[in-house]
């Protein structure tokens, strides 16, 4: 995995920690009270009928399996095959109030890249309630070497979402994760394939820095 460049951009400037209330910060509820109540997906990388979804019994971990999230570049391939996206929409139920959460996501796929071909996997995380606050991770693989023969790869994200859930106490938040894989090439004869075969999003490792309880 040494070939991966993993960039985690700086967080949005706003931090819940900067906000104070007369009540101060309370000890949080059990982080496992965060639950995925439902999920959906959209995008040309995940047409209906190509995705399997499973949610753990405690509703804190969701895994998507993708059969059509594949990109190709090179002679004979359609230029539109160079990039695909699949956006995941997770309906979350929170115990209430603002929170500062960490989302763990793991992606597996396959890359077979000739020299000159670069594959990049972008994941952009945002809550519907504040769609302009986004965090994007980017993993790139340069073709050649071990990738010329094809390898399975893993992309592991730990996202401090630092997000405000503006919904009223006890309401729901929607976390969106737009995953995009893309191939570029400096050699029109070179061939590349990059897939995303699965995505797992977990709320089990919450490092909850602070919670604010709602006033009744
Ligand atoms: C371009 O890619 C083809 C196929 O991998 C290879 O045979 C050729 O040598 C490459 N050309 C250059 C200039 O790297």
**How much distance in Å is there from the Cα of 74 to the middle of ligand 1?**
11
Q: Which of 75, 115, 117, 143 to mutate to test the pocket of ligand 1 (most atoms within 8 A of CB)?
A: 115
Is the pTM for the entire model greater than 0.85? no
**How much distance in Å is there from the Cα of 164 to the middle of ligand 1?**
49
Identify which of 90, 37, 94, 93 has the alpha carbon closest to the alpha carbon of residue 211: 94
39 within 8 A of 46, measured Cβ to Cβ: no
Alpha carbon nearest to ligand 1 atom 5, residue: 190
Query: Which sequence spans correspond to the domains of the chain?
Result: 23-213
Report residue 160's pLDDT band, with 50, 70 and 90 as the boundaries.
low
Position 111 pLDDT exceeds 90: yes
Report residue 202's pLDDT band, with 50, 70 and 90 as the boundaries.
confident
Q: In the numeric block, which tokens belong to residue 163?
A: 């997000």
Q: Ligand 1: which residues within 6 Å by Cβ?
A: 114, 116, 187, 189-190
Identify which of 75, 62, 178, 68 has the alpha carbon closest to the alpha carbon of residue 123: 178
**How much distance in Å is there from the Cα of 191 to the middle of ligand 1?**
9
């Amino acid at each position: 995995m040494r070939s991966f460049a993993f960039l985690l951009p700086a967080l949005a400037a706003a931090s819940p920690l900067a906000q104070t209330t007369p009540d101060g910060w309370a000890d949080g509820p059990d982080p496992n009270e965060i639950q995925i109540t439902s999920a959906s997906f959209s995008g040309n990388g995940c047409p209906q009928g190509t995705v399997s979804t499973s949610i753990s019994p405690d509703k804190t971990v969701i895994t998507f399996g993708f059969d059509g999230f594949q990109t190709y570049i090179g002679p004979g391939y359609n230029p539109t095959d160079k990039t695909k996206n699949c956006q995941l929409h997770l309906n979350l139920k929170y115990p209430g109030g603002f929170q500062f959460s960490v989302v763990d996501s793991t992606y597996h796929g396959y890359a077979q890249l000739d020299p000159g071909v670069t594959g990049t996997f972008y994941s952009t995380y945002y809550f519907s309630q504040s769609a302009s606050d986004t965090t994007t991770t980017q993993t790139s693989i340069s073709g050649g070497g071990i990738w010329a023969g094809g390898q399975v790869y893993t992309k592991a994200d730990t996202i401090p979402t630092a997000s405000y859930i503006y919904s009223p106490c006890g309401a729901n938040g929607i976390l969106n994760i737009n995953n995009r894989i893309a191939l570029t090439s400096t050699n029109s004869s070179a061939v590349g394939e990059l897939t995303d075969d699965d995505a797992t999003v977990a709320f089990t490792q919450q490092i909850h820095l602070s919670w604010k309880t709602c006033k009744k």
